[in-house]
Amino acid sequence: MKFASVRQVIVLTAVTCIAFYVLDYYKNPQLWHSKSVALASTDKGPRLTLWMNHLCCTGCLADVRQALARLPGLDVANATGPKQLLPQSEANQPGASLLDYGNVVEVPVTDLGTLDLVAVDRALRDKGFVAGRMELGGVEHFRLEAELNHLCCGMCDRAIHERVAFLKPKGLGGQFKWLDSVSVDHEKRMIVAYARFLQPGNTADVEEFVSGLNYLGYAPRSLRIVVGEHMQHTSDKRGD
C-alpha cells in the first residue's frame, strides 16, 4: 500500500481549506461582512421599488401616491415615477396605448423601523392596485418579521418550517434567492425571515415573502424590516 507523501497531504489540506472558505463566503457572505454597517453606502439610501402591473398614466400615478401618502416610513413626495408615462388627457384619447401597461415607482424609505410592508400592500389594494413586486434596496443585511394572528399549535410551526424548506429550493418560479433561513417564534406569533447579504446596487423582492406566506395559508398582520442590532439567528420556539 502506498501512502501519500507529506507534501501531497499538505497540498490536499490547503486546497480543501480554500474550497471550504470559498463555499462559506458564497453561502454566508453576511458573516464575512459583520463589521460593515447595515445600510449600504449608496447615494440613494434605503428605497422601496414598486413594480406595478398596471400604471399607464398620470392619473394612475396620482392614485398610487395618494395611497402611500399617509404611510409612515416613506418619502412619497420624493418618489420617482416612470419616465414614459402618458398624461391622463392623452390616455383618454381613442387609440391611446403603451407597449407595456406596467411601470415602476421608486419610493425613498425614511424610517425602516416604522415601515410596514403589509400596510403598503393593503393601501395599494384599497386604491385598486397590486404591486407585482416590492423590491428593497440600499440595505446590506436585514431580516423580515411577520406577525400573525394565527399560530395556535406546534403543527402550525412545523408546517411553516417544512413548507418553506420545500418552497425555497423550488423557488416558486425562481423566487426566494435572497432568503437565507426562517425561524418561528411561537410565543410572539412571529415568523422571521433572514436575508442573505445584499450587495450594493442589488435588491430583494420582499413581496415574495408575503406571497409565500399566503401560499402556505397565512395572512400576516404586519411585515417589518429590521436592520442593525440583534441580527443573529434566534433559536426556534415551537409549541408543544
Written as one letter, the residue type at 166 is F
pLDDT mean over 1-14:
70
Highest mean pLDDT among 15-19, 200-204, 231-235: 200-204
Task: State which of 30-39, 126-135, 199-208 shows the largest mean pLDDT.
Answer: 126-135
pLDDT for 44-64, tens place per residue?
789 999 998 888 888 889 999
pLDDT band at 72 (very low <50, low <70, confident <90, very high): very high
pTM of the model: 0.73
Confidence of residue 120 (pLDDT cuts 50, 70, 90): very high
3-state secondary structure 73-136: CECHHHCECCCCCECHHHHCCCCCCCCCCCEEEEEEECCCCCCEHHHHHHHHHHCCCCEEEEEE
Dihedral sign (CA 224, 44, 61, 214): negative
Q: How far apart are CA 13 and CA 197, in angstroms?
A: 29
- pLDDT tens, residue by residue, 19-43: 666 555 444 443 344 333 344 434 5
Q: Which of 24-28, 83-87, 128-132, 209-213 has the lowest mean pLDDT?
A: 24-28
**Amino acid 143: pLDDT:** 94
Of 223 and 84, more confident: 223
Q: Are 49 and 135 in contact (CB under 8 A)?
A: yes
Position 122 confidence tier, pLDDT thresholds 50, 70, 90: very high
DSSP-derived letter for residue 184 is E
Q: Across all residues in the chain, what is the average pLDDT?
A: 80
In the prediction, which pLDDT does 81 show?
82
Quick one: pLDDT at residue 237?
41
Sign of CA dihedral 217, 102, 104, 73: negative
Question: What is the chain's alpha carbon radius of gyration, rounded to the nearest angstrom?
Answer: 22
Question: CA 101 to CA 113: how far, in whole Å?
Answer: 33
Grid coordinates representing 106 are 421608486
Residue 154, number of CB atoms within 10 A of its CB: 13
193: exposed, middle or buried (C-beta count within 10 Å: 0-12, 13-18, 19+)? buried
Please give the share of the chain, as a percent, with pLDDT higher than 90.
41
Contacts of 73 (CB under 8 A, 6+ apart): 109, 110, 111, 112, 113, 114, 115, 116
**pLDDT the model gives residue 181:** 86
Q: Which residues of 2-37 are buried (b: 16+ CB within 10 A; e: fewer)?
A: eeeeeeeeeeeeeeeeeeeeeeeeeeebbeeeeeee
Query: So what's the pLDDT on residue 238?
Result: 39
What pLDDT shows up at residue 40? Answer: 40
158 SS3 class: helix
Which domains, from first to last, does the chain contain?
141-240 (3.30.70.100)
**What is the phi-psi region of residue 11: left when phi exceeds 0, alpha when psi lies from -120 to 50, beta otherwise?**
alpha
Phi, psi values for residue 76, rounded to 5°:
-65, -30
Does position 210 have pLDDT exceeding 80, yes or no? yes
Element (H, E) at 52: strand 47-52
Residue 30 pLDDT? 39
